[in-house]
């Protein structure tokens, strides 16, 4: 291919891609805010407090492990795209989305590390799991991964549009 858009696809360009990403993130934020603002109906739990805490910790750790797996998968896919380009090398201008994606993946993994220690701190000192000590690193981990995915998607779109 010569860098022209594929047949049947609308050429939105890089700016359009980022505008769509910002709109999607904004829409998801509004949906999340709306869901969090609704009142919840709470029942008395049949589980003991220790069992509730154990299930909460298990869910938290499973979510953390999933985000770590996704982050390392992005690094692996990026490495595959960078190494398996036989004909020509990437220019530095084409590499900035990949570089930013890698930086945000590394930040996501760092916040996963902090998240683990925040959870350990909360369990050791009986801090609620919805406190900032636990939630801030978790949210930063997710947000860094989201930015890594967006920049990786931009890099992949460039890679596919320039494929031979």
- Each residue's pLDDT, cut to its tens digit, for the chain (164 residues) gives 445 554 445 556 788 889 999 999 999 989 988 988 888 776 777 777 788 788 888 988 999 999 999 999 999 999 998 888 766 777 888 889 999 999 999 999 999 999 999 888 888 888 888 888 888 999 999 999 999 999 999 999 888 777 55
Please give the pLDDT value at position 86: 64
Could you tell me the sign of the dihedral formed by the alpha carbons of 23, 28, 32, 37, in that order?
Answer: positive
Residue 162 tokens read as 């320039």
Please give the pLDDT value at position 12: 64
Token pair 């998968």 in the structure block, residue: 73
Please give the pLDDT value at position 8: 47
CA distance 150 to 127: 34
Specify whether the CB–CB gap between 67 and 112 falls below 8 A: yes
- The structural domains of the chain, with segments of one domain joined by +, span 49-161
DSSP letters for 48-90: -HHHHHHHHHHHHHHHHHHHHHHHHHHHHHHHHHHHS--S-PP
Specify whether the CB–CB gap between 122 and 131 falls below 8 A: yes
Could you tell me the sign of the dihedral formed by the alpha carbons of 32, 112, 84, 2, in that order?
Answer: positive
């Amino acid at each position: 291919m010569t860098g022209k858009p594929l047949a049947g696809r609308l050429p939105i360009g890089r700016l359009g891609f980022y505008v769509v990403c910002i709109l999607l993130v904004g829409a998801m934020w509004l949906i999340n805010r709306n869901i969090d603002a609704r009142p919840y109906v709470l029942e008395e739990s049949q589980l003991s407090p220790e069992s509730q805490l154990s299930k909460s910790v298990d869910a938290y750790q499973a979510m953390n492990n999933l985000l770590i797996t996704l982050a390392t998968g992005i690094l692996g896919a990026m490495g595959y795209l960078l190494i398996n380009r036989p004909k020509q090398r990437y220019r530095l201008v084409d590499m900035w989305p990949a570089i930013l994606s890698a930086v945000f993946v590394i930040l996501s993994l760092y916040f996963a590390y902090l998240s683990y220690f925040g959870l350990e701190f909360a369990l050791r000192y009986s801090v609620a799991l919805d406190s900032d000590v636990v939630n801030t690193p978790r949210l930063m981990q997710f947000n860094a991964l989201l930015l890594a995915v967006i920049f990786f998607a931009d890099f992949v779109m460039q890679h596919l549009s320039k494929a031979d």
